[in-house]
């Protein structure tokens, strides 16, 4: 069974558009998930158990349920409540952000708690508020330790963005399925999609390793 290069050439522009959308969806999910995850992680660390309980429940729900179920619920139930109709791209961004936030929150929590408590006490003794101590003393130290697990989460998010094809968001996997459905070919569409995902994840791994080495020397 030979490779049909003509259908690959035909779908090349669609794979390009799909790849760009995959990158955009992943970046949006990573950015929003990181911001939300930081606040959720800090919320879970609050000493008042009643205040920290909702953050713990959030993390449990999004880590304990499949992203496929989450994206279906958000696409068909949540997004229509605000827009009056479905929107695959919006649903994907919301799902990726909310799901990654749950994992990133735990990464932030573990990273912050890995810093010796004496660092906070020393900062407070110098007259810093708790927020100032977190911003200028704790988080800069914890961020170096959080880069490897954050990098892994970002890589996972890129691959999980393929679930957007379920709700017909025209990302990379969507066009692979479209090509397979039109020509009833398996190797060309899915190997092409797999290679593109591999390039994306390897590129991100390389950039993160460079960043990690740079911070380690500072």
pLDDT digits (tens, 9 = 90+) for 2-46: 788 899 999 999 999 999 999 999 999 999 999 999 999 999 998
Instruction: Give the tens place of pLDDT for each residue, 115-145.
Output: 888 888 888 888 888 788 888 888 888 888 8
For residue 124, count CB atoms less than 10 angstroms from its CB and return exposed for 0-12, middle for 13-18, buried for 19 or more. Answer: middle
Q: Can you tell me the distance from the alpha carbon of 197 to that of 22, in angstroms, rounded to the nearest whole number?
A: 9
Q: Can you tell me the distance from the alpha carbon of 41 to that of 110, in angstroms, rounded to the nearest whole number?
A: 9
Other Cβ atoms within 10 Å of 26 Cβ, number: 24
For residue 216, count CB atoms less than 10 angstroms from its CB and return exposed for 0-12, middle for 13-18, buried for 19 or more. Answer: exposed
DSSP one-letter code for 115: S
For the chain, give the percent of residues with pLDDT over 70.
98
* pTM score above 0.85: yes
Mean of the pLDDT values across residues 87-99?
96
- In sequence order, the 6+-apart residues with CB closer than 8 A to the CB of 46 are 52, 55
Q: Taking Cα atoms as reference points, which of 107, 106, 132, 105 lies closest to residue 120?
A: 132
């Amino acid at each position: 069974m030979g490779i049909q290069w003509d259908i690959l050439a035909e779908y090349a522009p669609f794979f390009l558009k799909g790849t760009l959308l995959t990158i955009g969806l992943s970046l949006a999910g990573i950015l929003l998930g990181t911001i939300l995850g930081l606040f959720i992680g800090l919320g879970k660390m609050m000493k008042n158990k009643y205040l920290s309980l909702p953050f713990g429940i959030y993390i449990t729900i999004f880590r304990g349920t499949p992203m496929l179920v989450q994206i279906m619920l958000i696409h068909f139930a949540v997004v229509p409540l605000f827009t009056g109709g479905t929107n695959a791209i919006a649903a994907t961004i919301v799902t990726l952000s909310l799901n990654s936030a749950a994992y990133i929150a735990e990464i932030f929590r573990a990273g912050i708690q890995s810093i010796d408590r004496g660092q906070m006490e020393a900062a407070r003794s110098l007259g810093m508020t708790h927020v100032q101590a977190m911003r200028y003393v704790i988080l800069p130290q914890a961020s170096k330790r959080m880069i490897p697990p954050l990098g892994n989460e970002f890589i996972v998010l890129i691959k999980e963005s393929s679930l957007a094809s379920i709700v017909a968001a025209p990302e990379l996997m969507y066009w692979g399925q479209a090509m397979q459905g039109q020509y009833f070919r398996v190797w060309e569409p899915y190997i092409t999609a797999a290679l593109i995902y591999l390039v994306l994840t390897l590129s991100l791994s390389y950039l993160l390793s460079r960043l990690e080495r740079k911070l380690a020397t500072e």
